[in-house]
Amino acid sequence: MTDAPPITVIADETAYAEAVQLALDASAAYYADGTSALDDDAYDRLVRGIEAYERDHADQVLSQSPTGKVAGGAVVGDVPHLVPMLSLDNVFGADQLLDWAASLERRLGRPVTAWTVEPKLDGLAISARYRRGRLVQLVTRGDGVSGEDVSHAIGTVLGLPDRLADLVTIELRGEVMMTTAQFEAACAKRQAHDGTTFANPRSAAAGSLRTRERPYVCEQTFFGYGALPYPDDDSELAAGLRAWPHSEVMAWVAAQGVRTTADTPVAGRVVTTVAEAQTRVEEIAAARPGLEFGIDGIVIKCDQAADQVDAGFSSRAPRWAVAYKLPATEKITKLVSVEWNTGRTGVIAPRAVLEPVELDGSIVTYATLHNVADIGRRGLMLGDSVTVYKAGDVIPRVEAPVVHLRTGDERPIPIPQVCPSCGDAIDTSQERWRCVRGRGCRAIASISYAAGRDQLDIEGLAENRIKQMLDTGLITDFADLFYVTRAQLLGLERMGETSTDNLLAALDRAKTQPLNRVFCALGVRGTGRSMSRRIARHFGSMAAIRAADAAAMQEVDGIGPEKAPIVVAELAELAGLIDKLVAASVTMTEPGIPEAGLASLAATSSASAASGEGLPLTGMSVVVTGAMSGPLEALSRNEVNALIERAGGRASSSVSTKTSLLVAGEKAGSKRSKAESLGIHIVTPEEFATQVSAFL
């Protein structure tokens, strides 16, 4: 988060006029059906550039300029609002938030004693009018003075009940948006209907809410953020709503059966200082990647009604509230090409090559496309303008094409007919295409991975040696390594007695590696070092792992209903390789963990739960950052993570509200700063070593 937001630089009067028109066109499209030639970040930069130019050239300001106007001057609809629906002013960092709060308190002539901090939802602002508890009208924000009647959508929006708990006449305000699941479902329906998809959840919500005659219905969700009595209402409830703190108003709204963010990780919270508000901002920002709905900032407002009344309004925004904008996680850029790569398990994965775009603080050139079916569902074409999404540590992904920006020059994405790695046939029986040779296609990569330091740690087994053994037919997979004889190795070119004996000794040591490393060496999709440790600790033996069905596999922490069947299927596919490992006397148990019997697998696999009792890190999510020192200095990061899990904890790579403990060495950087802002307990490597000394 920066206190100096970038702007679009406008050079002269002609460029200024063009910028104003572009902003008006983008705003009109955005508030009409959710489409726009500009993403949110580009639009904000453009408007800030217009504002900067107007400050320096007051004599050139155009009357149609979007600055100082609700919805950027895009007039949509003719239903007057009972009370104007205004925009919010923005701040872009902690210093600007402090300046805004200080200015507000100077205006009030007193300190603000309570602030409400809540997410700024990225949806379509709606006024929902109720009479005697029954929903009678829905109106969009429009230009803030009047909006469009979209009452035909009544009954299709979750979280906005047809009837309230009380028979009251009231106006609720909130955002209509699509959750991640609702957006995927809407895209599937549109794809089936006309072969296109929505650009993003907001445009999908806006378009779906306004459409009256679409042959399919797209589910949406309402999140309330306020309640207003009718201006002429002098009832006891109306008086209460005008006098209650905002937090109490929202509690009343939720009690009426209306959805709010109260049951989410970013629920509104009342704090007493700006410093506490900033801390809550950081907490909400950290939770952003895991939310089921989009937010583009955090709203900080006076909680007390008296403060709001005394602060008043400007022409476009309340003076008692401000939006703390977060870095954009979504941008529009061009899909230049698609690369096809075969992974070490034989899966053929497409990767989007993009025109470079700055997204969430980094330059993005590549993004995930998942698989061929996903490309088809999204209707992507080369040359498309596409929405690219990124949040937190998540790999960027292509969300959808921006269909209304197509020029006619777009062309279909070439789909490979043979494996791009070996040229053999492709198994297309599942959504994730695979080379028919499976792991054999990238055998060198698969064996190198298994022999790596964090798996079997077979010292001296270089890639060129693996290739040599594959070419001579000594091995076909990494299990065959344990059957190679001294005579066979000596028969290889440039293999002397010393190097042969060293490799055989390394292979003997590899046989004694614990189950978690052996399992990791298998390279099962969806598992890595941490997950392999959890699986090994949960089941205790390879036999128990292989006997587990999908339901039993879901008992492992971190394995859900989607991943469990994949793991089970992969293990069945690897049966031959595992059998060879067993026959070679490779270790198939996890030290110190009792084997989970078949009876316990069918029940709750309680062995893992019992094994965690009394451990110092039980139930804790631990993040390690910076350079380790003291007893941890000689350990690799994976070895430290293994130590965490031996002590009963769960190793994580990113700091969030779920983090219990941060182990911070020298040069800890941003993770330490985030942990401090979230109030997470921080220890030095030496302190942590003392805490888990029994497991070192």
Q: Which of 462-471, 583-592, 610-619, 687-696 has the lowest mean pLDDT?
A: 610-619
- 570 pLDDT more than 60: yes
pTM: 0.59
Amino acid 188: pLDDT: 84
Amino acid 268: pLDDT: 92
Amino acid 608: pLDDT: 39
Rounded Cα–Cα distance for residues 186 and 214 (Å): 12
What percentage of the chain has pLDDT greater than the value 70?
92
Rounded Cα–Cα distance for residues 557 and 573 (Å): 23
Tokens 């793991």 locate to: 567
DSSP H helix total and E strand total for the chain: 25, 23
What does DSSP assign to residue 326? P
- 304 pLDDT more than 80: yes
Per the CB < 8 A criterion, the answer to whether 162 and 223 are in contact is no
Amino acid 597: pLDDT: 40
Rounded Cα–Cα distance for residues 602 and 611 (Å): 18
Per the CB < 8 A criterion, the answer to whether 516 and 536 are in contact is yes
pLDDT in tens, 649-678: 888 877 877 789 999 998 787 788 778 878
pLDDT in tens, 265-297: 899 999 999 999 999 998 998 888 778 898 989
Mean pLDDT estimate for the chain? 85
Torsion 588-593-595-600 (CA) sign? negative
Q: Tell which wins on pLDDT, 38 or 183.
A: 183
Q: Tell which wins on pLDDT, 306 or 191.
A: 306
Rounded to 5 degrees, φ, ψ at 336 are -80, -45
Amino acid 3: pLDDT: 56
Q: Tell which wins on pLDDT, 390 or 229.
A: 229
Amino acid 96: pLDDT: 92
Per-residue pLDDT averaged across 350-363, rounded?
Answer: 84
Per-residue pLDDT averaged across 363-380, rounded?
Answer: 86
Residue 678: partners with Cβ closer than 8 Å, 6 or more residues away: 279, 282, 283, 286, 655, 656, 657, 659
Rounded to 5 degrees, φ, ψ at 236 are -65, -40
Q: Tell which wins on pLDDT, 206 or 545.
A: 545
- 689 pLDDT more than 50: yes
Can you give 102-152 as a three-state secondary structure string? HHHHHHHCCCCCCEEEEEEECCEEEEEEEECCEEEEEEECCCCCEECECHH
Per the CB < 8 A criterion, the answer to whether 612 and 567 are in contact is no
Q: How confident is the model at residue 522 (pLDDT cuts 50, 70, 90)?
A: very high
Q: Tell which wins on pLDDT, 224 or 4.
A: 224
Q: How confident is the model at residue 68 (pLDDT cuts 50, 70, 90)?
A: low
pLDDT in tens, 588-635: 998 877 655 433 433 333 343 334 556 888 888 898 988 889 999 888
Residue 686: partners with Cβ closer than 8 Å, 6 or more residues away: 629, 630, 631
pLDDT in tens, 488-511: 999 998 899 999 999 999 999 999
Amino acid 32: pLDDT: 57
Amino acid 363: pLDDT: 83
Amino acid 583: pLDDT: 93
**Which one of 120, 189, 331, 563 is the catalytic residue?**
120
Amino acid 120: pLDDT: 94
Cα(first)–Cα(last) distance of the chain, in Å?
39
Q: Which of 551-560, 569-578, 589-598 has the lowest mean pLDDT?
A: 589-598
Q: Are strands 124-131 and 362-368 parallel, antiparallel or unpaired?
A: unpaired
Rounded to 5 degrees, φ, ψ at 173 are -125, 145
In degrees, to the nearest 5, what angle opens at C-alpha 650 toward C-alphas 649 and 654? Answer: 135
Rounded Cα–Cα distance for residues 190 and 377 (Å): 10
Q: How far is CA 600 from CA 82, 90, 278, 407, 607, in A?
A: 63, 56, 48, 61, 8
Amino acid 312: pLDDT: 93
Per-residue pLDDT averaged across 552-565, rounded?
Answer: 86
Per the CB < 8 A criterion, the answer to whether 277 and 300 are in contact is yes
Amino acid 371: pLDDT: 87
Count Cα neighbours of 150 within 13 Å in the Cβ-side half-sphere: 28
Active-site residue, 120 included: yes
pLDDT in tens, 229-269: 988 888 888 998 999 999 999 999 999 999 999 989 899 99
Amino acid 606: pLDDT: 38
